[in-house]
Structure 1
């Protein structure tokens, strides 16, 4: 009976995923149609023209896929396209895994309906998991469908719009089934290096200032999360009783919340990360923090080594063919070598200033 119920639950989940994707594609219209639509606002048309420029840059300068993705636009009647459910045990930062036929095993489960995501989150909490349900503005179908531009992110600042499109197209270019850390760090490297190159060509003072401010806040916020993630890891790996670990966990999350308010005041009240705190803080909030960034220094080192994006993609493809632990080891080695080179170059510049 349990197996039958599990099978029905899975079928229901796949049905909502299929219906959600097909509905999205059915409502999307070519950007050219929106640009010719007298009812579309001037602001939307301006953003869509920027998307066209970004899309062309992705192909001509970054070597990203030439296909129908991000050439259509869909206006959604909701703030996010998906809600991801992330779960972790009460005394661990290792996320629960869900396995799917195409994507392999990943550390989240997405729903097109917020209420369905919340209901599944409540079920996991009843099973003893820490849970976070977080709205997602965009995702990649890995090239199986032509992913559209969506109202959920169309009003991002130009450089952030470029980053997002570069990131999602990167997943279409290369995706290793079952290795979320590798996939996300690769896409994050392409998005960040790509955005830097895009700004170098298309950036004006306002675009560069906006991007620098966003990057500064993101760096500080990530450092905050990693700091408290490490504190939790130290507690969970220690010799305290489970009851004592739970008490420490409460104190650590309270301190994180307090320090975030200080950081927010430093930013002048910027609210961009408030949604991250919409639910009570839990292990699920910190379980995936290093997924996007833990291996990025290695990819950055590889990109610097290969010099061009096409050569970089070839080198990443070779890494992808290796066993998971070996490719991770090589990326860590690349990060270490890159850091040593930077230190050596910095020391050399300091010596050059000595008289």
Structure 2
């Protein structure tokens, strides 16, 4: 939803940004309505409208935010300082798309945030209309709900009530992930931004659980869940590579589209027989057998999980010092090639 930032910058430009003339007004109106309908977190906790579980989750968000700022050194932005009660409604949606015969994502450009591979919507009908338009153009399309997003502190970014339905581990991860976007950002490079946020959120979540003296069973469960995530991501990267090889053949566009289901099904079968039995929580991955034959789906996973090992090496090389690590990541974000910068930085330390 960084396109909200770009939308504000685009407002009033004659050439416009986004899918149609309604997009910018709906995006700006949606964010302003969210702010107007929000209350400070402290007031929400005192208001008597939340049950005990919701209050506990809201306090967890507050504490995770404090930890991310005071212990990890993430930016003290206005993210997660307000609460917006929407009941069980999400009211935030992302739409992304890809060519059906290649792993080539559709992109849109905005001032300040650069080129992005998805568009965010507050209006479900508008999102569905855009999804259907892209589908009608023959693209693979993915529309999904979003609990939280970053505005890079251009405007206050409230906690949406739907986030309170998530489990504790997901909530902590989400808070740190979005605050990282407020801290380190590279214009037009979603892969770097999202993957870096994934790494920092995962590492920060484990440290938060430990430093806040959570029960050892909870910490162990978090480690198991991240192990399962790593196994799933390794499977997805292999399937991604298999699809790249398949789409690189010269059999023609229509033949590629007709034959790609076999590649996806081979991946589903491999997961069932080789990966699923090794998981700590296999019940959480039953849905993989129903994974869609959809390149936009593949790209959505891909862009959030690149170079996590490289980021981890940098963190270890600083002695697990977040202040120093974030300085390196900021420098990488400003470099022409972030991955090359980090690799060179690590090599220089070895030399």
Q: TM-score, normalised by structure 2?
A: 0.84
Of residues 252-261 and 309-318 in structure 1, the stretch that sits farther from structure 2 once superposed is: 252-261
Q: Compute the displacement of 1:88 (Å).
A: 0.9
Does 1:313 pair with 2:326?
yes
Distance 2:256 2:339 in 1: 30
Given candidates 181, 190, 193, the residue that maps to 1:171 is 181
Alpha-carbon contact 1:89-1:129 (below 8 Å) kept: yes
Does 2:303 correspond to 1:291? yes
- Shift of the 228–112 alpha-carbon distance from structure 1 to 2, 3 Å rule, reads same
1:65 aligns with 2:75: yes
Partner of 1:220: 231
Aligned to 1:72, the other structure's residue is in SS state strand
1:83 and 2:83 aligned: no
Alpha-carbon distance, 1:238 to partner: 2.1
Mapped partners of 1:306, 1:109: distance in 2 = 36
1:246 aligns with 2:260: no
Q: CA deviation at 1:244?
A: 3.5
- Offset at residue 6 of structure 1 (A): 7.7
Contact 2:38 2:83 in 1 (8 A): yes
The change in CA–CA distance for 1:27 and 1:276 in structure 2 (over 3 A counts) is: farther
Would you say the 8 A contact 1:138–1:152 is kept in 2?
no
- Provide the C-alpha distance between the structure 1 equivalents of 2:17 and 2:178, rounded to a whole number of angstroms: 31
TM-aligned CA deviation for residue 151 of structure 1: 1.7
Match of 1:301 among 306, 313, 338: 313
Deviations 1:203-246 (A, max 9, x none): 21242143234323322332232222111111011233334422
- Asked if the contact 2:96–2:143 (Cα under 8 Å) also holds between the matched residues in 1, the reply is yes
Bigger Rg, structure 1 or 2:
1
Q: Shift in Å at residue 201 of structure 1? A: 1.0
Gaps of 5+ in 1: 341-355
Q: What is the DSSP-based 3-state SS (H/G/I as helix, E as strand, rest coil) of the residue aligned with 1:65?
A: coil
Distance 1:302 1:103 in 2: 25
Q: How does 1:139-150 map to 2 (within 5 A)?
A: 139-150=149-160
Name the residue aligned to 1:270.
284
In structure 2, the partner of 1:41 is 51
Change (3 A) 1:237 1:86: same
Q: Is the 8 A contact 2:78 2:153 kept in 1?
A: no
Match of 1:330 in 2: 341
**Does the Cα contact within 8 Å between 1:63 and 1:310 map onto a contact in 2?**
yes
Distance 2:130 2:31 in 1: 19
1:187 aligns with one of 187, 197, 207: 197
Cα shift at 1:312: 1.4
The number of residue pairs the alignment matches comes to 333
What is the alpha-carbon distance in structure 1 between the residues aligned to residue 25 and residue 290 of structure 2? 28
> Cα RMSD between the aligned structures?
3.0
CA distance in 1 between counterparts of 2:207 and 2:247 reads 41
What is the rounded CA distance, in whole Å, between the counterparts of 1:311 and 1:5 in structure 2? 42
- Does the Cα contact within 8 Å between 1:158 and 1:207 map onto a contact in 2? no
Give the 3-state SS of the residue equivalent to 1:87 in structure 2: strand
C-alpha separation in 1, matches of 2:109 and 2:87 = 30
Q: Is the 8 A contact 1:299 1:335 kept in 2?
A: no
Which secondary structure does the structure 2 equivalent of 1:19 belong to?
A: helix
